[in-house]
Amino acid sequence: MENNLRFNVSKCKVLTITRKKNPIIHDNNLGSQNLTRVDSEKDLGITTTSKLSWDIHANTIVAKANKILGVLRRTCIKLMDMKTRRTLYLLLVKSQLCYATQL
């Protein structure tokens, strides 16, 4: 390669995005090595599936936000005033739910 960067074949994956029932599948190679084919992949915190369904991503984010909310409820409800609890909610829970919602 021109810039002397090398691809790590074990980190490269192929995600074919289509809504067809029987998509045409090609073998993808990098040099002499086959690349791994996956049905979903997480990149920059966003899980994308081959059918462009966001169910896996949404379920993961909601579960993570619920865990954080549970910790906040157990630890902060009696110790802090409403303004502090709201600030913690906005920082820790809502930020999880709103990340990459523009997609």
23-80 pLDDT, tens digit per residue, is 888 888 888 888 989 999 999 989 999 888 889 999 999 999 999 999 998 988 778 8
- Separation between Cα atoms, residue 103 and residue 93, nearest integer Å: 19
pLDDT (0 to 100) of residue 65 = 94
Please give the backbone phi and psi of residue 42, each rounded to the nearest 5 degrees, phi first.
-100, 125
Res. 103: pLDDT tops 70: no
pLDDT of residue 33: 87
pTM of the model: 0.71
Tokens of 79: 């110790």
pLDDT, position 63: 96
pLDDT value at 1 more than 60 = no
